[in-house]
Amino acid sequence: MADIFDVIADATRRELLQHLLDASLRDDTGAGELSVGELVDRMDATQPTVSKHLKVLRDHGLVTVREEGQHRYYAVDAGPLEEVEDWVISFLSAGFDPNDDVQSPVFAAWAGTEVTTAGSTVGRVAADASHRAQSVIHGAQEKLHDVGEAVTKRLPWKHGD
């Protein structure tokens, strides 16, 4: 059986995980589920290809699936990625100097270093908030782009006339 690094080495699987993560960050209910059809629509891949990669992700615990009739809804489960995080952090924090005021407290917190700023401890919450903010901004940019394209298509004149 492939290890977690083999699983996330595939670009299609990473893209699937990103779409599911984006869905979980946008969903107020916390479910963050997408159907296979929704994932196919968001990707440049066929349904059989998406299903094959979802099976690999499911077999390694990176996604959960909920069946409803003939539909399957997938959600990301980042738990198995802790092994990757633990391995990567050792490299990222190798040259980290907690006494260097230039270093980002968010990076320090993400790297596992306890950071104290103005009497309060900054932990993984800061790193998680930073990631969520970046994901929301990315999602908003995508939606804005889609709206721009939709408006352009509805204009009575052709683009470039």
Q: What is the DSSP string of 9-53?
A: HSHHHHHHHHHHHHHHHH-TTS---EEHHHHHHHSSS-HHHHHHH
In a domain, 18, yes or no: yes
Query: What is the number of domains present in the chain?
Result: 2
Taken in order 119, 123, 125, 128, is the CA torsion positive or negative?
Answer: positive
Q: Which of 50, 79, 108 is a domain's end point?
A: 79
Higher pLDDT, 104 or 89: 89
Q: Domain check: are 71 and 111 in the same one?
A: no
Pair 24, 71 in one domain: yes
Per-residue pLDDT tens over the stretch 110-148: 555 555 555 444 445 555 666 666 667 767 777 777 777
Q: Are strands 120-122 and 115-117 parallel, antiparallel or unpaired?
A: antiparallel
pLDDT of residue 120: 44
The arithmetic mean of pLDDT across residues 35-40, rounded, is 94
> pTM value?
0.59
Give the structural domain span for 134. Answer: 96-152
Give the percent of the chain with pLDDT over 90.
Answer: 35
* CB-count exposure of residue 7 (10 Å: 0-12, 13-18, 19+): buried
Residue 158 is assigned to a structural domain of this protein: no
pLDDT at 84 over 70: yes
